[in-house]
Structure 1
Amino acid sequence: MIDIQTRVLLLEFLNFSSHKKIKVFVVGGTLRDHILRKDISDIDLTGKNIAELATQFAKSLNFNRVSLDKTPGRATTRVILPHGKHFDCTDLQGNKIEEDLSQRDFTINAMGQELSGFLGGGREIIDPLEGQKDIEKKSIRTASSTSLKSDPLRMLRAFRFAATLKFTITEKTLKEISLNKEDIAMTASERVWQELYKFFNANNTAKLTSLMKETGLLLSLLPSLFPNWGKVSTHYNRLEHIISNPDLYFPGKNLNLPEKALLKFAFLLKEIDTNLLENASNKDFGLPKTYEFLRNLKVSNNDIAFICKSIKNFHYFSKSLSSNLNDSSLYYICITCGDKLLPGILLQACTLPFPEKLKNTENKKLIFHAKILDFYLLRYLPALGEKALLNGDDLIKNFNIAPSPVLGDVLQNIQRAQVLGNIKNPAEAKAFATKILQSQKQKLRR
Structure 2
Amino acid sequence: MVINLKQNKNFKLFKLVSAVAQQNNQSVYIVGGFVRDLLMKRQMPTDIDFVTESSGIYLAKKIAQEINPKLKVSVFKTYGTAMFKHNGLDLEFVGARKESYSEDSRKPSVETGTLEDDQKRRDFTINALAISLNKENFGELIDPFDGISDLQNKIIRTPLEPLQTYSDDPLRMMRAIRFAATLNFQIEENSLEAIKKEAERIKIVSMERIMVEFNKIMLSEKPSVGLKLMEQTGLLPLIIPELTALKGIEEVEGQTHKDNFWHTLEVVDNISKNTDNLWLRWAALLHDIGKAPTKKFDKKNGWTFHGHEFLGSKMVKNLFYRLKLPLGSDMKYVQKLVKLSSRPIALIDDGTSDSALRRLLFDSGEDLEDLFTLCKADITTKNSSKQEKFKKNFEYVAQKIKEVEEKDSIRNFQPPISGEEIMEMFNLQPSREIGILKEKVKEAILEGEITNDKEEARSFVIEEAKLLGLKIN
How many angstroms does 1:429 deviate by? 1.6
**2:334 counterpart of 1:334:** no
Aligned to 1:44: 49
From the superposition, tell whether residues 91 and 184 of structure 1 become closer, same or farther in structure 2 (CA, over 3 Å). same
CA distance in 1, matches of 2:7, 2:439: 54
Aligned to 2:158: 142
Q: Secondary structure at the match of 2:22?
A: helix
Q: Secondary structure at the match of 2:222?
A: coil
CA offsets per residue over residues 55-108 of structure 1, 9 Å max, x none? 4544663223334x533xx42222123x44301222212432122111111111
**2:216 counterpart of 1:188:** no
From the superposition, tell whether residues 117 and 243 of structure 1 become closer, same or farther in structure 2 (CA, over 3 Å). farther
Q: Do 1:28 and 1:110's aligned partners in 2 also have CA atoms closer than 8 Å? A: yes
Structure 2, unmatched stretches of 5+, are 99-112, 250-258, 295-304
- Deviation larger for 221-230 or 128-137: 221-230
Aligned to 1:249: none
**2:126 counterpart of 1:125:** no
CA offsets per residue over residues 422-441 of structure 1, 9 Å max, x none? 8778xx52233222331232
Structure 1, unmatched stretches of 5+, are 247-255
How many angstroms does 1:357 deviate by? 2.9
Written as runs of structure 1 = structure 2, the 5 A alignment for 1:25-424 is: 25-40=29-44, 41-47=46-52, 48-58=54-64, 61-67=69-75, 69-71=76-78, 74-81=79-86, 83-94=87-98, 95-115=113-133, 122=139, 124-145=140-161, 146-224=164-242, 225-228=245-248, 230-245=259-274, 259-267=279-287, 269-271=289-291, 286-287=314-315, 290-302=316-328, 303-314=330-341, 317=343, 323=349, 324-337=351-364, 345-347=372-374, 349-352=376-379, 354-357=381-384, 361-363=388-390, 367-368=393-394, 371=397, 375=401, 379=405, 383-384=410-411, 389-398=416-425, 400-411=427-438
Aligned to 1:441: 466
Q: Give the structure with the larger helix fraction.
A: 1
TM-score, length basis structure 1: 0.79
CA distance in 2, matches of 1:370, 1:61: 64
How many angstroms does 1:218 deviate by? 1.4
Aligned residues: 421
Q: Secondary structure at the match of 2:73?
A: strand
CA distance in 1, matches of 2:171, 2:321: 19
Q: Give the letter aligned to residue 326 of structure 1.
A: S
- Deviation larger for 387-396 or 433-442: 387-396
CA offsets per residue over residues 397-417 of structure 1, 9 Å max, x none? 455454344444545565677
CA offsets per residue over residues 126-170 of structure 1, 9 Å max, x none? 001000001111111122112211211111111111121121222
CA distance in 2, matches of 1:208, 1:373: 37
CA distance in 1, matches of 2:307, 2:7: 52
From the superposition, tell whether residues 437 and 240 of structure 1 become closer, same or farther in structure 2 (CA, over 3 Å). farther
From the superposition, tell whether residues 148 and 134 of structure 1 become closer, same or farther in structure 2 (CA, over 3 Å). same
CA offsets per residue over residues 296-353 of structure 1, 9 Å max, x none? 3221223333333333333x63996673432211222333445555555555554445
Q: CA RMSD in A?
A: 4.1
* Fraction of identical pairs, as percent: 23
Q: Secondary structure at the match of 2:241?
A: coil
CA distance in 1, matches of 2:425, 2:7: 63
CA distance in 2, matches of 1:358, 1:118: 67
Q: Secondary structure at the match of 2:141?
A: coil
